[in-house]
Amino acid sequence: MTELVKKITAKGIVPDLAERVKTPGDLYDADEKTIVATPVFHVYGLARKYDAERSQYGEYLRFTGDFEAVNLKTGEVHRAGSMILPDIAENVLAGAMNTEGAQAVQFALEIGVKPSKSPVGYDYTVKPLVENREAEDALTTLRAASRAALPAPSKSDGEQVADNAAGKKK
């Protein structure tokens, strides 16, 4: 079931984030020396703009658009028109949006965590699931969808007359 929320945030999608990092299991790769990230949620959507804001924790970017996030452990789905991402992910998305002429950007990201010696005990990781791309405007998308649903054009009267004159059958 999809839950509509005011904004998508990592803590809102995965409230037990700190515990997920401390859970034993897939923290190391096969050589047991390299720490690997644990994927925790997917987020995707259409980012139309972003604004720099400030809180007691520092500066961040708030994205506006249409977003959906899926908790990979529980399968819970959250939708919102506003989103705040971890620094590493916001840099990826803001960079794509800063491309000259970009009106909106379609994206899909996997957000993960890996243990670290930071005060919170983990660092975020980000992995693009698709190549970020400038979104087409809504009319272009709808136009393309309607054209795909239309039957193939039939021959015009002039083409049919020419075929008949050439002795071709209908």
Sketch the domain layout of the chain as residue ranges. 2-135
How far, rounded to the nearest angstrom, does the alpha carbon of residue 121 sit from its chain's CA centroid? 26
Rounded to two decimals, what is the model's pTM?
A: 0.69
What digits encode the pLDDT tens for the residues 109-168?
999 988 877 788 888 999 988 875 555 555 555 566 666 665 665 665 556 655 666 666
- In angstroms, how far is CA 163 from the centroid of its own chain? 51
Which residues lie across from 65 on neighbouring strands? 47
Q: Residue 141: its pLDDT value, please?
A: 56
Q: What is the mean pLDDT of residues 73-93?
A: 94
Alpha-carbon distance 26 to 73, whole Å? 14
Burial classification of residue 139, based on how many CB atoms lie within 10 Å of its CB (0-12 exposed, 13-18 middle, 19 or more buried): exposed
